[in-house]
Every structure is written in C-alpha cells, then in structure tokens.
Amino acid sequence: MSLIDSLPELQQRFESECITGASLTDELEERIESFLFSSVDGSVAGPLQTVVRELVQNSIKANLKRLVFFRNDINPLRPGDYGRGMEQFHRSLADYDRYYFASEFNRENIRFEMIFSVHRRVSVLHISNPGRLFRQEDERIRRKFLASEKVQGLYQFYLNYSDMAEGSGMGIALAHILLKQLGLDPRLLSIFTEERLDLTVSRLIIPRSSDYRSPRQRFENLVKERQSDPQVLREHLRIAGMPFLDE
C-alpha cells in the first residue's frame, strides 16, 4: 500500500507524482531538480536539492540495512542482535555497488517511494521505505536533530557530535543546517514512522507562502490554546491524525 493511501491530503486533486526506486538514478535526480526549481527560486532550489539527495541516500541505506538484517536473520529486538546486524551492515556499505544492490532491492521488493506534490501554498516531498524505525534509529535521529540545532556549521557538528555507530550523522546535520542557512525552519523536515503502513517516512515541506504554518507551529499553538500537556496532546493527535497541510 502506498503512503498516498494513508494521507488524505495527498488524495486530493493536487498536482502530484509518485515514483518508486531502488537507487538514485540520473532520471530521478532530474525529476528532483525540476520539481524544486519549479517550486522556489533557484538560489534556494540548489541547496534544497542537496537536502533531498541526502534524504534519498538515507532511505537507500535504510533499505540496505533491512536487506542485511533479513538475510542474516537479525532481529533488532533480540539482545545483541542489533549490534551484530550493524557490523554486517557496515561491511555491506563498505562494498556497496549501486547496480548490484538495486537488483537485490528489486528482488526482495525493498524499494523507496517518492511523492512529489504541489499544493496551494506549499510543495511537499515524501520519501518512504518499508519498515518502521527501529528504536535505536529513532533515538539516534532525535539526538542528531537536537545536536544540529546547537551548531552553526558542519565542521562544528563533526567535531562535537559525529559518531560512527551508523555513520557520522552528517546527512541529517547537513539537511538541518542548510535549511537554517536558507532561512527556513529546520522543523519543516521530519522523519517518522507511519505505523498503519509500517513505513519510515521523510517529509520536506517547502513553503511558497509566508503565512503557511508548519505542523510543529500548529501543535505549539494548540498546546497554548488548550493548555494541554504536550505529551498527552501528541498522543491524541497521533491517534486522531493532524493534517500536515495548513490550507
């Protein structure tokens, strides 16, 4: 089932396109470039293309990890298995051959999906891949997001926060820092689990209107308006759903 089936906003009759893939091909690069340059000024589209490229590469690495775990009978819920699986993953990553693994991803039906959608006030990119975030992945992504908010450049991030557990984390930091330097709210980028479809999703919202309010801004306003506990409200919205579009 596609991510489109889970998000009502993507089922509306906006200009949209869905592409599935196993690698970052030249054709996909061209589609990303066309989408971004038709959405925003060229001075912004270029850096955003780097952000999107990092998100696609992260999705491919996540698929590689799941392929390695599947073929080596790794269960991340079993004590010790996650660490053993990561050793196998790093060996595969060191010997990564784009064409070979693209063939293996297709063989096992482990592909990513990109949804390009243009709405009234925003353009949005969704990149999803099969399987939810492992607990270790989710915790690590949160740490990297928080760390990237504290630094002004990649070199400082590398010195202070990089690790080699699953890679240096530079891709996440690069995306966040580039968004900040473009004058965009880094929280327009989110990575989360879509539990109903068992997918990991990266979402990049690109405002084309200055009055657009991001999901995080609307959540913070709801907390104030309802005087709610943020954790309780977050759980309520997780069940009830909160549209990512502020239309």
The answer on 164 and 94 residing in a single domain is yes
pLDDT tens by residue, 206-245: 988 877 877 777 777 777 878 788 777 777 666 555 565 6
The answer on 238 and 117 residing in a single domain is no
155, pLDDT greater than 70? no
The answer on 220 and 199 residing in a single domain is no
The answer on 151 and 31 residing in a single domain is yes
Show the tokens assigned to 49. Answer: 């293309």
The answer on 233 and 150 residing in a single domain is no
The answer on 132 and 43 residing in a single domain is yes
163, pLDDT greater than 60? no
94, pLDDT greater than 90? no
The answer on 25 and 10 residing in a single domain is yes
The answer on 242 and 179 residing in a single domain is no
C-alpha radius of gyration, the chain, whole number: 18
- Whichever domain contains 177, its CATH number is 3.30.565.10
Show the tokens assigned to 69. Answer: 């775990």
The answer on 220 and 208 residing in a single domain is no
Q: How many whole angstroms separate alpha carbon 78 and alpha carbon 144?
A: 25
- Number of domains the chain contains: 2
Q: What pTM does this model have?
A: 0.83
Domain range for 97: 3-212
Q: Which of 85, 141, 150, 121 is nearest to 208 (CA)?
A: 121
List Cβ neighbours of 210 (8 Å cut-off, separation of 6 or more).
Answer: none
pLDDT grade for 164, boundaries at 50, 70 and 90: very low
The answer on 169 and 185 residing in a single domain is yes
The answer on 77 and 139 residing in a single domain is yes
pLDDT tens by residue, 170-192: 677 788 888 888 889 888 998 88
The answer on 187 and 126 residing in a single domain is yes
Q: How many whole angstroms separate alpha carbon 27 and alpha carbon 238?
A: 36
Q: Which of 143, 170, 167 is nearest to 156 (CA)?
A: 170
Q: Could you tell me the sign of the dihedral formed by the alpha carbons of 241, 242, 245, 247, in that order?
A: positive
pLDDT grade for 55, boundaries at 50, 70 and 90: very high
The DSSP-derived string for the chain is --GGGT-HHHHSSSEEEEEEESS--HHHHHHHHHHHHHHS-HHHHHHHHHHHHHHHHHHHHHHHHHHHHHHTT--TTSTTHHHHHHHHHHHHHHT--HHHHHHHHHHTT--EEEEEEE-SSEEEEEEEEESPPPHHHHHHHHHHHHHHTT-SSHHHHHHHH--SSSS-SHHHHHHHHHHHHTT--GGGEEEEEETTTTEEEEEEEEESSTT---HHHHHHHHHHHHT--HHHHHHHHHHH---S---
